[in-house]
Structure formats: C-alpha cells, structure tokens
Amino acid sequence: MDKHHLSIFEGKKIRSVWDKKTKKEYFSVVDAIEILTDNNNPEHYWFEMNNRVERESGIKLAKICLRLKMRATDGKLKISDAADSELLLRIIQSIPSKKAEPFKLWLAKVGNERLLDLSDPERSLNRARDYWQRMGRSEKWIQQRMMSQETRNKLTDYWKTHEVNEQNEYAILTNIIHEEWSNLSVREHKKFKNLKRENLRDHMTEAELIFTTLAEFSTRQIAEKLNSVGFIQNKIPAKKGGRIAKIARLELEKRTGKSIISSVNYISDRKKIT
C-alpha cells in the first residue's frame, strides 16, 4: 500500500489508501456509509447491513473487503474495512440513499483524478489550492499551509529512510513535537477546536501553521545533525525541535499579549464548497 488520502464529497471527508502496484484506491467503508446515510454510528450500520445482505444473498461483504490501516480521529493508524471502487459500488447498491447516484459519479471522478495525478503531481497541488480558495482562505494562509505540508513531507521522508515505522511511530513522534510546542496533544488541540474527523492542519490559523512548521523543521534539522536512526533515537530531536518552537511561541505571546493556540476552526466554510 502507498499513500493515505482524504477526499471530499459534499463537504465531508472519506479516507482512502492508494495502492501504486495495482493502481487502485481503497476507500473506508464506514466513511462512505456515514456520508450516504448521515448515520451517527456507521460501524453499527455496517454490521447490521452485512447481516442483512448475507441473509438475502449469502454474501458477507465484510469478508471480501480488505482490512487496512487508516488514520483515525486521534491521529493513529487503525484497522478499517476498505473497498476498491468496484466493491464500494456493490456496497452502495445495498444502501437506500438519495446520495447514491451523485456518490457513484464522484467515485468515478476521484479514480480518474488519481491516475492523472500520478502522471502530473502538480495537479493535486493545484486542486488543494483551489479547494482552499473556495473555502475562502486567504492567499497568505494557503501559502503557509502548503509550506507547512512541504516541511512535513521532508520530515516524514527523513523518518522513512531512518528506520522509523510508518504506522504508529509517525503518529507518536508527531504528537511529541506538537505537545512540546503547543502544550496540547494533537487530540486535545482538535478537541479545543471542536474537530472530529477533520484534519487539524486544515483548521489551524496562520500563526498555528507557522509554529507547527518551525517545530517540524527544527526537528528534522536536529535529527540530521544527530543522524538519529529508529523510533527511540528520533524522540530526542522531536522533543528538542518542539521545544524550540515553544520558546518562540512563549516569547511572541509575551510581547503581543495574544495566545497563539486558537479555538478557531473553518467547519462553517464547508458551505462555500459546491
């Protein structure tokens, strides 16, 4: 499996994993069910639906799904039922929903776009910029968000080539950095902003993005200097990098009298997306 993605359907996100070998996208089944049914307990709906389909046709859909690790609301990778486009279309047929037909069209569009992105990576960057523009974000915010992502990618590239496990260890190291500079864990920061499945960085203020970037940039610089290898060794630069950003945050807050950590989110801006 290759890259983890978050795609948008009618302002709601659905997690997926792209397999570069098979050139297939595998989507979170419970995310799709939540979108199609507006059900607050999609896991239970999926369980009951499996039983119903098995009684009617003898087919147990969950058994033909893949069990893949996807990013949960707490930032950790957890096992979830996943289906490629073909299987997801089969699942949708068993869900009575007015959104079924628009969702099918969206699914086809996402698959096509992912293939085009492989041949031209700049397309995905332009699409992200367009998405944020339609949400009403300023050019300055968009620039900072993209810079933050580039810095993040360079840090995870370092971890990947220095024996850090991409599954749980990335999330733990990220949390160490974040808690060190902000005094909040990723989960606590999301709760402070009243976020659930949303990406925290998409709801950070410009200032929060700047300090997150400083913390992750400092972490990578220190890790490269120490030649940190493996999860345990990379905890040291994570703490030190986060602390550098914390010192800067406290100094700025002292001089301005304003907190960098904000409860602001952009959830209401979803309405701007058509």
pLDDT score recorded for residue 76: 72
**Residue 1: band (very low, low, confident or very high) from pLDDT cuts 50, 70, 90:** very low
Q: Worst-scoring range by mean pLDDT, 107-116, 161-170, 257-266?
A: 107-116
pLDDT higher than 80, residue 147: yes
Q: What is the mean pLDDT of the chain?
A: 86
Q: Worst-scoring range by mean pLDDT, 51-60, 112-121, 229-238?
A: 112-121
Please state the rounded mean pLDDT for residues 125-132.
70
DSSP 25-47: EEEEHHHHHHHHH--S-HHHHHH
pLDDT score recorded for residue 176: 97
pLDDT higher than 80, residue 143: yes
Residue 25 bridge partners (DSSP): 18
pLDDT higher than 90, residue 214: yes
Please state the rounded mean pLDDT for residues 70-85.
81
| Euclidean distance between CA atoms 232 and 164, whole angstroms | 9
The domain limits of the chain are: 3-119, 138-272
pLDDT higher than 80, residue 212: yes
pTM (whole model) above 0.75: no
Residue 27 bridge partners (DSSP): 16, 83
**Residue 161: band (very low, low, confident or very high) from pLDDT cuts 50, 70, 90:** very high
Whole-number percent of the chain with pLDDT over 90: 44
pLDDT higher than 70, residue 240: yes
**CA-based R_g, the chain, Å:** 20
Q: List the structure tokens of 75.
A: 């930032």
List the beta strands (DSSP E) in the chain: 3-9, 12-19, 24-28, 66-71, 77-83
Q: Worst-scoring range by mean pLDDT, 45-54, 106-115, 119-128?
A: 119-128
Q: What is the pLDDT of residues 4-34, one digit of tens each?
A: 777 778 778 888 887 777 778 889 999 999 9
**CB atoms near residue 241 (< 10 Å):** 26
pLDDT higher than 90, residue 213: yes
pLDDT: which is higher, 1 or 21: 21
